[in-house]
Amino acid sequence: MRAGPVSIPLLGSWEFIQLCWTGGRLEDLCRRLGAKYGPIVFFRIALDTPVVVIRTYDALKVLLADGSKWQHNRKFIIRTLGRLGFNRNKLETLASAECSKLVEDLVELKGQVVNIERDLTGAIANVTLKFIMNFEFESHDPRIGELKEASFHIVRLLANIQSHLDFFPWLAHFSSERSDVKTLARSLDKVSDFIKARIDEHIETLDEAHPRDFIDEYLLQTPKADHDTSIENLLVMLKDLLLGSLEPPPIALSWTILLLAKHPEVQERVRAELTELLGDHRAPTVEDERQCPYTQATIEETLRFVTLTPINRHSTTQGATSLRGYHIPAGAMVLADQHSLHHDPAVWGDPDVFRPDRFLGEDGAKLREQVRAFGFGPRVCLAEAHARSLLFAFLAGLLRRIEFRLPQKGQVATMPVYQVLSRPSETLVVPFPR
């Protein structure tokens, strides 16, 4: 049994051909097919490659066949990162210090319109760099912009190239794809060169008695016999951390601030909870985060409501399998329609309403399991742990001192623009000191 459109031999499903011809978005196609065929959709792309789109959380867990195994692997990775110096308390302390600088800058503006994503990107980049390599940029250092631009190219081009080559393998022989590959390579080289220079500095100045940061902790736990391999692994890990801090956290935090500006009653409730626990100036800790259920719920609701990655490629099936009576052939590409996962009326009731209260209480804890804003997998674990720490620390620091409003009363500046990540069309807000 299958649920999906008819396929044209070698070319794929007609709906997919139309998508390619019109330059439409994959998430829109998945949504249309889902409305017609249900929570599990099959279609074929070029060369008859099968694709299965999963649109419910329960079905996705069954297909991956290792929900508990995945959770076990996730916990193992986080524990390992902790042994390598990934200390959330230290990260949040650094974030609070950097956030204090940002607050002072915003206070000085005295109600002027600001591009909050731009300001957050610089601040969050400094937190990450200080944490992993004891390095920070001076204000308005042009390298922040260069790394941000490189990060944008990497995220966009990796997704585009991978998507095109998955769907049309022969495009690898054409110049436009080669051009994108060259741009991607240059951007990756720029980030890699920056990180390699910092690693070399750490190797030369390492003091075993006084580790300074994540790199030092990693080097101290690296067997000398595996030096080259370990340094290469460190480079990959640092690239994930750095690139992960330059795009998802500033975008997620920008969305949160925009939605709070649009919903002032939610903003005031978050502020009251944070102020009651922390006062006006104390830096938050991991323990504090656990004692701020409404703030946590607001972060979860933002991540659900906007869905940073609307479509997430999970894997390719190694062998034929079945799911709820549906046959899934070997080699099928598995896509998770995360927007549908986060907007299923059967799960959320009123998915198009921004309502943090849904994540409170016992039912809220169960719902929280279904928010997969950062996807699945080991590299995602690293990005998620890092991003969530930054989100809470910056939100706690900003809201106790600043009230955010939209530039014009009633103006809605929260329409998404899909560029791999779902980002706001505008990130303009007006900060008012409290």
Binned at pLDDT 50, 70 and 90, residue 19 comes out as confident
Higher pLDDT, 269 or 20: 269
What is the pLDDT, as a whole number, of residue 364? 86
Taking a C-beta distance cutoff of 8 angstroms, is the pair 208, 199 a contact?
Answer: no
Find the angle CA(15)-CA(18)-CA(19) to the nearest 5 degrees. Answer: 90
CA distances from 162 to 166, 168, 177, 236, 307 (A): 6, 10, 10, 19, 21
Residue 231: give the domain boundaries: 84-260+374-433
Maximum mean pLDDT: which of 86-95, 157-166, 258-267, 405-414: 258-267
What is the pLDDT, as a whole number, of residue 74? 53
What is the pLDDT, as a whole number, of residue 390? 86
DSSP at 425: S
Higher pLDDT, 236 or 357: 357
* Chain position carrying tokens 């002072």: 104
Binned at pLDDT 50, 70 and 90, residue 179 comes out as low
- Residue 401 buriedness (CB in 10 A; 0-12 / 13-18 / 19+): buried
pLDDT digits (tens, 9 = 90+) for 185-228: 777 788 888 889 999 999 999 998 988 888 888 888 877 767 77
Residue 317 has pLDDT above 90, yes or no: no
Find the angle CA(431)-CA(245)-CA(290) to the nearest 5 degrees. Answer: 75
Residue 261 has pLDDT above 90, yes or no: yes
pLDDT digits (tens, 9 = 90+) for 97-132: 899 999 999 999 888 999 998 889 888 888 888 888
Residue 153 covered by a domain: yes
What is the pLDDT, as a whole number, of residue 258? 94
Residue 304 covered by a domain: no
Residue 433 C-beta-side C-alpha neighbours within 13 Å: 10
Handedness of CA 364, 381, 343, 415 (dihedral sign): positive
- Is 381 annotated as contributing to ligand binding? yes
Residue 165 has pLDDT above 50, yes or no: no
CATH of the domain at 89: 1.10.630.10
Lowest model confidence (mean pLDDT) among 135-149, 158-172, 232-246, 336-350: 158-172
Rounded Cα distance between 84 and 153, Å, is 29
Higher pLDDT, 57 or 270: 270
Q: Order across the sheet with 333-337: list the strands.
A: 40-44, 50-54, 333-337, 311-316
Residue 266 has pLDDT above 90, yes or no: yes
Lowest model confidence (mean pLDDT) among 51-65, 269-283, 303-317: 51-65
Question: Stretch 48-64: mean pLDDT, rounded?
Answer: 77
Rounded Cα distance between 243 and 78, Å, is 18
421: which residues sit within 8 A by CB, 6+ positions away?
155, 247, 248, 251, 308, 309
Residue 426 is encoded by which pair of tokens?
Answer: 């505008």
- Residue 201, classed as helix, strand or coil, is helix
Residue 192 is encoded by which pair of tokens?
Answer: 């890699």
**Can you say how many angstroms the Cα of residue 129 is from the centroid of all Cα atoms in its chain?**
18
* Mean of all residue pLDDT scores within the chain: 78
DSSP at 56: S
Residue 126 covered by a domain: yes
Strands 333-337 and 50-54: parallel
What is the pLDDT, as a whole number, of residue 399? 95
Q: Tell me the chain's radius of gyration from C-alpha atoms.
A: 22
CA distances from 414 to 190, 230, 337, 426 (A): 32, 43, 21, 7
114: which residues sit within 8 A by CB, 6+ positions away?
106, 428, 429, 430, 431
Residue 268 is encoded by which pair of tokens?
Answer: 């005031």
Lowest model confidence (mean pLDDT) among 157-171, 214-228, 253-267, 371-385: 157-171
What is the pLDDT, as a whole number, of residue 130? 84
What is the pLDDT, as a whole number, of residue 409? 59
Lowest model confidence (mean pLDDT) among 45-54, 251-260, 281-290: 45-54
Residue 242 covered by a domain: yes
Maximum mean pLDDT: which of 63-77, 381-395, 406-420: 381-395
What is the pLDDT, as a whole number, of residue 23? 63
Residue 358 has pLDDT above 60, yes or no: yes
Residue 92 covered by a domain: yes
> Which phi and psi (to 5°) does residue 209 adopt?
-80, -15
Residue 170 has pLDDT above 60, yes or no: no
Residue 171 has pLDDT above 50, yes or no: no
* Domains: count for the chain: 1
What is the pLDDT, as a whole number, of residue 237? 80
Residue 239 covered by a domain: yes
> Which phi and psi (to 5°) does residue 76 adopt?
-60, -45
Binned at pLDDT 50, 70 and 90, residue 164 comes out as very low
Question: Stretch 403-417: mean pLDDT, rounded?
Answer: 68
Taking a C-beta distance cutoff of 8 angstroms, is the pair 282, 190 a contact?
Answer: no
Rounded Cα distance between 301 and 324, Å, is 30
Residue 325 covered by a domain: no
pLDDT digits (tens, 9 = 90+) for 134-143: 887 766 666 7
DSSP at 47: G
Handedness of CA 352, 120, 295, 287 (dihedral sign): positive
Q: Which amino acid is at 21?
A: W
Higher pLDDT, 67 or 148: 148
**Can you say how many angstroms the Cα of residue 120 is from the centroid of all Cα atoms in its chain?**
15
Residue 294 has pLDDT above 90, yes or no: yes
User: Integer distance in angstroms from the first to the last C-alpha of the chain?
Assistant: 61
Binned at pLDDT 50, 70 and 90, residue 89 comes out as confident
Residue 125 covered by a domain: yes
